[in-house]
Amino acid sequence: MSLIANCFRRLTETSTKNEFKGYKVTDVNRVRKIGVACRSLHELKRKACAKLNITNDPDEINIYLLDGSLIDEEEYFSTLKPQTTLILQKPGEKVLTDADLLYDILRRVNIDFLIAGEKASEFLTENFKAKVAVLYNALNKDDSKTAFSSRGEHPEWFHGLETNCTSKEAYLHRRCQDRIRGYLYKTIDQIKSSDVFTKDPRARKQLLYAIAFFKMQLKEDHYFGYYFDRSRAKSEALEGADELDSSSCYDHCPCRLKWLDDSTYFRLFGAMEQFDDTDGVKKRNGRSSDTKTEEEEAEESCPYKIRRKAKKACIALCDHTGEFRCYGMWNEDKCSYPDKHKINPYRSKEELVLFSTWNFDHKIEKSRSIIPSLLKLASQGNTNESDLIEIYDNLFTMKNLRLVHIVCHDKSSHK
């Protein structure tokens, strides 16, 4: 399908996207569950906030699947099945991951049924890192279904996952994108809560340009979903693939895009325009087209250009089977436990759950070093494109990230 035809389809295909669908919505505590019928993600947020008596601006609300996947685009939201259960998150709240829920279940079982067992109590309530190690050693290491990819081939791997992904590769691709999106949202929150952003108009404009660039470049880079995608594992087939062809790189990538100029890119994918059929008034994310936020204005006039990435540079962090190995602590050349700190989330549902305890560790710290340096540059009026690219790479790429086992994730100050 041509680029023009594809764009036209995305803008005009309203028959399925604008029909009412019913969803189940709960809060981060999962205590109360309500039903919401809506046509769009924005409408779902608005109605859910009203029913749950939440006074926050719907634009400040995030929506997650039960597996922790963030629903942040209308395009992705439209693919969800009716009656999918969704989690509504207010600013500052934490959505529990699969690993958090697993640990909480174990803790509750301990409290309710194992009070008399002192040793069991110690295991289930103390020393979380050691507990994870014991759980990992107890996993079934049956490799007979590791190579299977589809839901039909390995249904138990997909059991309980509320996702429209039909392959393991697509699901883990999306989960990695969610992690990188999390870094983007935390970066934006820290920037906007700073005195530099709120009190210095000149610096504020520069920071809005920086945020726009981060969003634009991350979409170009597919939010680095290929880091967890074993179909992008290093191989001879990829060595000679140096053409710039995003669509053929990621057949299952949920953010597949064609190369577009910046203005078309933002118009179609940055802030998708919506149309109200009742009065013919064009709207932008629920607002009339003559009202633009500062972020939208910055996106449209952003002076920084995105970088194209060669296909051969998009290589997964795992091998072709899906096995990941720990990179070691941030100040070490390699992991001190190479035989123990490895995992294959493609093997079983249990290892998939445990894989969520592995983290990306910033060698140069995001909150303590990278973002403060950006704020300083903006306050001095010295932000240039090369500085911004360096900051982007340190925030979101393997230039500064290390995938680590929970034991090797040092959360203390990196000095």
Cβ burial 364-385 (10 Å sphere, 16+ → b, else e):
bbbeebbbeebbebbbeeebee
Q: How many domains does the chain have?
A: 3
Q: Is the dihedral of CA 10, 11, 16, 21 positive or negative?
A: positive
- Which range scores top for mean pLDDT: 135-139, 307-311, 366-370? 366-370
| Range from 74-83, 170-179, 250-259, 294-303 carrying the lowest mean pLDDT | 250-259
Mean pLDDT of 104-121: 47
Confidence of residue 244 (pLDDT cuts 50, 70, 90): very low
Query: What are the residue ranges of helices labelled H in 163-200?
Result: 168-192, 195-199
- 175 lies in a domain? yes
- 135 lies in a domain? yes
- 153 lies in a domain? yes
**Residue 106 sits in which domain range?**
96-126
Q: Determine the pLDDT at residue 222.
A: 87
- 350 lies in a domain? yes
Same domain, yes or no: 89 and 101: no
Distance of alpha carbon 299 from alpha carbon 285, whole angstroms:
15
Of 69, 93, 117, at which residue does a domain stop? 93
Confidence of residue 77 (pLDDT cuts 50, 70, 90): confident
Q: Are strands 273-275 and 62-65 parallel, antiparallel or unpaired?
A: unpaired
Of 40, 75, 93, at which residue does a domain stop? 93
Residues in the chain, how many? Answer: 415
Domain containing 20 — which CATH number? 3.10.20.10
Mean pLDDT of 328-348: 90
Q: Are strands 85-89 and 21-27 parallel, antiparallel or unpaired?
A: parallel
Same domain, yes or no: 100 and 214: no
Of 73, 93, 113, at which residue does a domain stop? 93
Same domain, yes or no: 34 and 59: yes
DSSP of 17-59: TTS-EEEEEEETT---EEEEEESSHHHHHHHHHHHTT--S-GG
Confidence of residue 272 (pLDDT cuts 50, 70, 90): very low
- 104 lies in a domain? yes
Same domain, yes or no: 41 and 150: no
- Is the pLDDT at 69 greater than 70? The verdict is yes
The one-character DSSP state at 263 is H
- 204 lies in a domain? yes
Same domain, yes or no: 143 and 73: no
Same domain, yes or no: 160 and 30: no
Same domain, yes or no: 107 and 24: no
Confidence of residue 230 (pLDDT cuts 50, 70, 90): very high
| Range from 30-44, 146-160, 271-285 carrying the lowest mean pLDDT | 271-285
Contacts of 386 (CB under 8 A, 6+ apart): none
- 410 lies in a domain? no
- 288 lies in a domain? no
Same domain, yes or no: 89 and 106: no
Q: Determine the pLDDT at residue 97.
A: 61
Same domain, yes or no: 200 and 318: yes
Same domain, yes or no: 73 and 200: no
Mean pLDDT of 220-245: 73
**Which single residue is written with the structure tokens 């409408």?**
43
Same domain, yes or no: 255 and 359: yes
- Is the pLDDT at 403 greater than 70? The verdict is yes
- Is the pLDDT at 289 greater than 70? The verdict is no
- At CB < 8 A and 24+ separation, what contacts does 51-56 make? 51/25, 52/25, 52/27, 52/88, 54/88, 54/90, 56/90, 56/91
Is residue 398 classed exposed, middle or buried when 0-12, 13-18 and 19+ CB atoms within 10 A define those classes? middle
- Is the pLDDT at 88 greater than 70? The verdict is yes
Q: Determine the pLDDT at residue 297.
A: 87
pTM here is: 0.64
The first and second tokens of residue 132, run together, are: 């994870």
Confidence of residue 46 (pLDDT cuts 50, 70, 90): very high
Same domain, yes or no: 113 and 216: no
The first and second tokens of residue 3, run together, are: 């680029």
| Range from 8-22, 179-193, 219-233, 259-273 carrying the lowest mean pLDDT | 259-273
